[in-house]
Amino acid sequence: MPKKKITKKKIIKTKKMGARAKTVKQAVLPLAPAIPPKPPEVPQAPRGMRDILPADEHLWHAVKKEAEELSNGFGYGFIETPILEHKALFARAVGTVTDIVQKEMYCFKDQGGDELCLRPEATAAVARAYVNHGMLNLPQPVKLWYLGPFFRRERPQAGRFRQFHQWGLEALGDSHPVLDAETISIALAFFRDLELPVKLEINSIGCSQCRASYKNELVKFYTPKQELLCDACKMRLQINPLRLLDCKEAQCELLREGAPQITDFLCEACRDHFMHVLEYLDEAGVSYNLNPYIVRGLDYYNRTVFEIFPVASDDGKQKTEDRTEGEHGGEKKEAELNEDEENPSPVLNLLSSGAQSALGGGGRYDGLIEQLGGRSTPAVGFSLGLERIISYMRSRGFSPVSGRLPRIFIAQLGDAARRKALLLWHELRKEVPAVASLSKDGLKAQLEIANRLQVRYAIIIGQKEILDKTAIIRDMEAGIQEVVDYNKIVGEIKKKLAGDA
Rule CB under 6 A: which residues touch ligand HAM? 121-123, 152, 154, 160-161, 164, 166, 168, 170, 327, 358-363, 365, 381-383, 385, 387-388
CB of 206 to ligand HAM, least distance (A): 17
One-letter identity of residue 417: A
Task: Give bridge partners of residue 310 from the DSSP assignment.
Answer: 198
DSSP conformation class of 139: S
Task: Measure the CA–CA gap between 322 and 325, rounded to whole angstroms.
Answer: 9
Task: Give whichever of 395 and 412 is closer to ligand HAM, judged by the CB atom.
Answer: 395
The distance of closest approach from Cβ of residue 61 to ligand HAM in the complex, given in angstroms and rounded to an integer, is 19
Least separation in angstroms between residue 50's CB and ligand HAM is 10
Q: How far is the CB of 80 from ligand HAM (least distance, A)?
A: 15
Whole-number minimum distance, CB 192 to ligand HAM, in Å? 17
Quick one: 168 or 378, whose CB is closer to ligand HAM?
168
- Shortest CB 347 distance to ligand HAM, Å: 11
Instruction: Give 325 or 465: the residue with its C-beta nearer to ligand HAM.
Output: 325
For ligand HAM, the closer CB: 173 or 362: 362
- Alpha-carbon distance 130 to 79, whole Å? 10
Which residue sits closest to ligand HAM, CB atoms considered?
A: 385
Cα–Cα distance measured from residue 317 to residue 199, given in angstroms and rounded to the nearest whole number: 9
Nearest distance from C-beta of residue 222 to ligand HAM, angstroms: 24
Minimum CB distance to ligand HAM smaller for 211 or for 328:
328
Nearer to ligand HAM, 349 or 383 (CB): 383
CA distance 277 to 285: 12
Contact predicate 134/142, CB 8 Å: no
| Nearest CB to ligand HAM, comparing residues 201 and 327 | 327
Torsion, CA 310, CA 119, CA 117, CA 135, rounded to 10 = -150
User: Which of 362, 338, 331, 333 has its CA nearest to residue 350?
Assistant: 333
Contact 87, 106 (CB under 8 A): no
479: left (phi over 0), alpha (psi -120 to 50) or beta: left
Determine contact, residues 193/392, Cβ cutoff 8 Å.
Answer: no
Of 366 and 387, the one with the shorter C-beta distance to ligand HAM is 387
Q: Three-state SS string across 222-268, please?
A: HHHHHHHCCHHHHHHHHHCHHHHHHCCCHHHHHHHCCCCCHHHHCCH
Of the pair 308, 447, the CB lying nearest ligand HAM is at 308
- Residue 37 CB, nearest distance to ligand HAM (Å)? 39
CA distance 168 to 123: 9
Q: How far is the CB of 311 from ligand HAM (least distance, A)?
A: 15
User: In whole angstroms, what is the distance from residue 435 CA to residue 450 CA?
Assistant: 8
* C-alpha closest to that of 435 among 51, 54, 52, 53: 54
